[in-house]
Amino acid sequence: MLRLYLKILIAAILLQIPVSSEVRANLRYKFVEFDGFRIALVTGAFEPSDRLETFARFIEARGVRVILFDSGGGNPYKAMEFGRYIRSTGLATTQVKEGECASACALAFMGGVIRLAEPGSIGVHKSSFSGEFGINAHAAVSAIQELTAETISYMIEMGVDPALLQLALKYESNDIRYLSGSEMKRFRLITEGVDAPPRDVTVSPRAANLPPLGGEQSTAVFLSPEAARSGAVRHPAGQAPLKQAARGKSADLAVLSNGERLTILGNHDRWYRVRAGTLTGYMHHTWVYVDQFALAPFDQRHVQVRSFRSIEEVNRYVRSSRLPLSAYRASNGWYAVTLRNTYDKQHAINLARKLKNQGAIPSDSFITYGNTYLEKVCCE
């Protein structure tokens, strides 16, 4: 299957088959139909001004089933938005060395339900915040931490091993690290040779009912996002939008400040349907402090060091660590491993920086409110 896709796509590019194209903002979309395959070539940089609706109309009007990229990157939030659309519509992504998919483009590539790529066709590095925007050091640290948390959450959602981010962070923004075929398989960036991941990872009954790592038998109720009933806005930026629909591109009904109370009416994928005053809309799990899952004081942060799919992996990691750690089950079905205590923001930043410099925690560890943590599974 991989060779067939690559043969088709390389032929389409190298033979310069006539294509229809549409240009909007910084991304350009070209349509190729070759031997029954309907392919969209996405070129250019991902920018905040690129409209997802334009891409969606282009895809739907032509019945596209495969996405190919020729992009050096751009805005990571926009790339993740496109990736979520690609996943929600069941499209495949594929990549050849004759094109390029580097930096933020790799995030969009992860959206494919089937992901195929030639070795050396996808590159990664760390994100940067340009000084031309006048961002100060404190704001940059906060922004980078928020982006890191969002990227890890997105990678888990897409079925990609977030350890890939740790590799990316070793390379500065002016450098690039192209991945080998074996690395793509190891990090689950491609689905060739591995099981294609489901859109939502769920915990098996066996894993859910394992005893805590401390050895005592658990009597806790297995919580889910459906148990959420009330809470408050809690976002690193100090405020978050109330969306008209359960998707990031939806219109804002209002912008709510941290601490504003919410009645939680339901759960839709990774969005809560909430009521704030007289308004009813949607807020992402990562934006909401849920009273029923409260695991730390409202203003305290966790330092998350790793995430794992299974409780067995958590067990091995915690037992091998010299640091006191805790583990939580998150709303996406994965397990988050954190330092045992919680801290105020500046203390958390300073501690994480110190431990990273000492090599005591991974370089991609990050500060988080832990809004998606449902329950603690270890350790006292």
Please state, in angstroms and as integers, the Cα–Cα distance from residue 42 to each residue in 30, 94, 125, 303, following that order. Answer: 7, 11, 20, 37
Among 140-149, 213-222, 358-367, which range has the highest average pLDDT?
Answer: 358-367
Tell whether the model's pLDDT for residue 2 goes beyond 80: no
Kindly indicate the confidence band of residue 236, based on its pLDDT and cuts at 50, 70 and 90: confident
pLDDT tens-digit series, residues 257-271: 999 999 999 998 789
pLDDT score, position 21: 44
Structural contact between residues 117 and 95, judged by C-beta atoms closer than 8 angstroms: yes
Give me the helix-helix angle, 137-158 and 76-88, nearest 10°: 20
Tell whether the model's pLDDT for residue 14 goes beyond 50: no
Peptide bond into 379 cis (omega under 30): yes
Q: Does domain 2-186 have CATH number 3.90.226.10?
A: yes
Rounded mean pLDDT, 54-78: 90
The domain segmentation of the chain, as residue ranges, is 2-186, 205-219+294-378, 225-293
Tell whether the model's pLDDT for residue 63 goes beyond 80: yes
Give me the helix-helix angle, 52-62 and 76-88, nearest 10°: 30
Q: Does domain 225-293 have CATH number 3.40.50.9100?
A: no
Please state, in angstroms and as integers, the Cα–Cα distance from residue 307 to each residue in 84, 89, 279, 311, following that order. Answer: 21, 27, 35, 10
What is the rounded average pLDDT for all residues in the chain? 80
Higher pLDDT, residue 14 or 301: 301
AA identity, residue 101: C
221-206-268-296 Cα dihedral, nearest 10 degrees: 50
205-219+294-378 CATH, one of 3.40.1710, 3.30.70, 2.70.98, 3.40.50: 3.30.70
Torsions phi, psi for 11 (to 5 deg): -60, -40
Q: What DSSP state is assigned to residue 197?
A: P
Rounded mean pLDDT, 92-119: 90
Tell whether the model's pLDDT for residue 61 goes beyond 70: yes
Tell whether the model's pLDDT for residue 254 goes beyond 70: yes
Burial class (CB in 10 A: 0-12, 13-18, 19+), 234: buried
% residues pLDDT > 90 (the chain)? 36
Kindly indicate the confidence band of residue 158, based on its pLDDT and cuts at 50, 70 and 90: confident
